[in-house]
Amino acid sequence: MSPMRAPVRVSRDDLPSRVTIWEVGARDGLQNESTVVGTATKIELVDRLGAAGLPIVEATSFVRPDRVPQLADAAEVMAGIARRDGVRHPVLVPNLRGLDAAVEAGVGEIAVFASATDTFAQRNLGRPMADQMAMFAPVVERARGLGLPVRGYVSMCFGDPWEGAVDPGQVVGVCTELLGAGCTSLSLGDTIGVATPGQVVALVERLVRTGVPIDAIGVHFHDTYGQALANTLAALTAGVTTVDSSAGGLGGCPFAESATGNLATEDLVWMLDGLGVETGVDLEALVATSIWMADQLGRPPVSRVVQAIGG
């Protein structure tokens, strides 16, 4: 019995006609790997993801090598990747030094990483949540002055392993601060994968009520509790059109031990294809890329669609 290689398409009127997938496998996925992946392999991964039709492939992060050794070759990766028409390659930067290195490497857009909880801010950024904007604001200001779009990631939007449930007001506060500082878009992170659909819709609607444009909101779900696809569908019904995912389901968070893998891009594409939502992604090419990457890492991909189609 051969596997189905495409879903039956049944469209819904309450969903967007097109969704932009923000692919994070090459950065967020690989940063959690204990074995350092070679630069040439990273470059090939980024190139293959772009060739598969993903419009945004986050390439790397310009962080301190001692903090995230896996991404110490950021400049080399940016120098080696193919600059394909229609494919954006944003990078994460933590501070002005990282921004300077990214600009020197020819980066066209950046992202910064904030927290919606105090404990995670202390662990991830080394400072309390109340002080994090002092770290990001100069980076955002300089980047915007250079004409670069800036995405603001917000971690722990739905739950925190140390603090438990997160007050939505804290999330809204951080999001409005990031936009006020000049960020052009946001990514709401369910860093430990505990969110449920009602919680997702409520937070998105609250942000919109406070004046955050719906087209500035992206979502970033982890599948720790098996809720990532359900939460994504809920976000789409609330008007969100940008979804983060990771090829093969790579990644977690090196600073939150209970976080397991990101939403797998193949699983997301299968669902969206079945709902008649356009992505521009070639699922077969994406599956082949994740199988290839799994071989490089020496373990099978966690994506259910890759397992079904790839055998």
Instruction: For residues 198 and 205, give the distance between their C-alpha atoms in angstroms, rounded to a whole number.
Output: 11
Q: Which of 157, 175, 183, 253 is catalytic?
A: 253
Residues near 242 by beta carbon (within 8 Å), at least 6 away in sequence = 19, 20, 22, 185, 187, 217, 218, 219
Enter the tokens of residue 197.
């659909």
Distances (CA, A) of 130 to 64, 125, 239, 305: 23, 12, 30, 41
Contact 184, 221 (CB under 8 A): no
The set of residues, in sequence order, having a beta carbon less than 8 Å from that of 280 and lying 6+ positions away, is 53, 54, 55
Residue whose tokens read 């904007």: 133
| Stretch (H or E) spanning 297 | helix 283-297
State both tokens at 108: 């066209």
**157 in active site:** no
Amino acid present at 159: G
Where helices occur in the chain by DSSP H, the ranges are: 39-51, 74-80, 96-104, 118-125, 132-145, 168-181, 197-209, 228-237, 265-274, 283-297, 304-310
Q: Which residues pair with 189 in a beta bridge?
A: 220
DSSP at 117: S
Q: Which residues belong to the active site?
A: 253
